[in-house]
Amino acid sequence: MLSATRPTLHPPRRRLRTAVLVAALTVVAPFALTGCGGEEAGPRLAADAAIPDEVPKDTVLRIGDPATQVALELSGLDDELPFEVEWANISGGPKTLEAFRADALDVGSVADIPPLFAKWTGTDVKIVAARYTVDPLEHPTYELGIAPGVDVDAIEDLKGKKIAYSPGQAQGAIILKVLQEAGLTQDDVELVEMASTDDVYVNALGSKQVDVAPLGQTLVPPFLAKYEQDGGHTISPGVRDDFWHLYAPTEVLEDANKAAALKKYTEVWAEAVDWVNEHPEEYAKGFYEEHEGLSAEDAAFLVDALGQKEIPQSWDEVIVEHQKTADLLAEEQDRDQLDVAALYDRRFEPSAEAGKVNDQAGEGS
């Protein structure tokens, strides 16, 4: 039986300068975050100009990517970053977007929905890196949690059920994709709007507030530990939910120094992805156990459940799939149509692939 203890977050080990911008943001006014207004901006870089290769040593990049931070520290890859890093313990779309709007963050790590909602809500952003999961249907990022006593064994059984729904998060898009895959519409179910933060969805399932909720893999073990004995269970969503991105406010990319630093970061980020693939046990212990406070059993479960990640050589397929998601959300949520290709800054496309090449070269030396 997996542990039912709710994880306690522990502070990460730090080798680079860390800015404790926010430990956990739930409701934060814009003035609660402080940006680096005193930092001198670099030369202005045009949107069609080549990104410099050299990074001035005094350049500061504020990064919200705790999972990669730990991977870099465990692997020693953080030594390859020739600039100053301020790590922010911020993850997830809503928190990252708030930090962008408060000028408290230069780049964040999110799924495919947050960049779309940033554009829809008036924040100009660009995607600078992408990755996906090898065998994504076998290793879904989310599973559908089914409340105790609810008879759902396949997505076709969702008709008439109350489903937790967060329109501005990846979890909301998952539900719309699942309904489409099952041949159902929003009228066939009852969508209960609630934000997916912490263990809100787990508690909603346990209290029968909803019948079904999309659970990130970190929430599956505690959900099953609490409610499996009473009939709670999970099923696979049967749709892709694996695309992941680094994205940044457009104004960050207009700063030549920050753009150069970000280019280097995407290279090292790609090396970190490969390192995690090759060192799953070390990463499970360093991130899920020591950083996130999970048990060794739950950490091992997560590494196996989430599978290995891949950096695409070309963004073409990623953009096509991302456009399908944007079109679905535009139709189902009455949003403006977006040209997703315009969100991708393809000047960074070779950077992540260069990072993979560097990593492979290092292995062969």
- Residue 359 and residue 314 in one domain: yes
Q: What is the mean pLDDT of residues 319-334?
A: 96
Q: H or E stretch including 117?
A: helix 113-120
Q: What is the separation of C-alpha 346 from the centre of its chain, rounded to a whole number of angstroms? A: 20
pLDDT at 353: 63
Question: What pLDDT digit, counting tens, does each position of 136-171 carry?
Answer: 999 999 999 999 999 999 999 999 999 999 988 899
Beta carbons of 60 and 84 less than 8 angstroms apart: yes
Residue 1 has pLDDT above 80, yes or no: no
pLDDT at 25: 37
Q: Which residue has the higher pLDDT, 281 or 354?
A: 281
- Residue 162 and residue 187 in one domain: yes
End-of-domain residue from the set 235, 270, 294: 235
- Ramachandran category for residue 277: left, alpha or beta (phi over 0 → left; psi -120 to 50 → alpha): alpha
- Residue 102 and residue 191 in one domain: no
Block residue for tokens 């489409």: 180
Question: What pLDDT digit, counting tens, does each position of 231-255 carry?
Answer: 999 999 999 999 999 999 999 999 9
What is the number of structural domains in the chain? 2
Residue 358 has pLDDT above 60, yes or no: no
Q: Which residue has the higher pLDDT, 19 or 124?
A: 124
Helix (H, G, I), strand (E, B) or coil at 306: helix
End-of-domain residue from the set 184, 210, 235: 235
- Residue 101 and residue 155 in one domain: no
Q: What is the mean pLDDT of residues 85-91?
A: 94
Q: Give pTM, 2 decimals.
A: 0.84
Residue 34 has pLDDT above 50, yes or no: no
Distances (CA, A) of 78 to 57, 85, 142, 320: 14, 9, 29, 33
- Residue 286 and residue 189 in one domain: no
**β-pair partners for 213:** 145
Residue 279 has pLDDT above 50, yes or no: yes
What domain range includes position 215? 142-235
Cα(188)–Cα(204) distance, rounded to whole angstroms? 20
pLDDT at 39: 60
- Residue 253 and residue 122 in one domain: yes
Residue % of the chain over a pLDDT of 90: 81
pLDDT confidence band for 20 (50 / 70 / 90):
very low
Q: Give the CATH number, domain containing residue 46.
A: 3.40.190.10
pLDDT at 91: 84
End-of-domain residue from the set 235, 267, 287: 235
Question: Angle 349-364/256-278 helices, nearest 10 degrees?
Answer: 50
Residue 30 has pLDDT above 60, yes or no: no
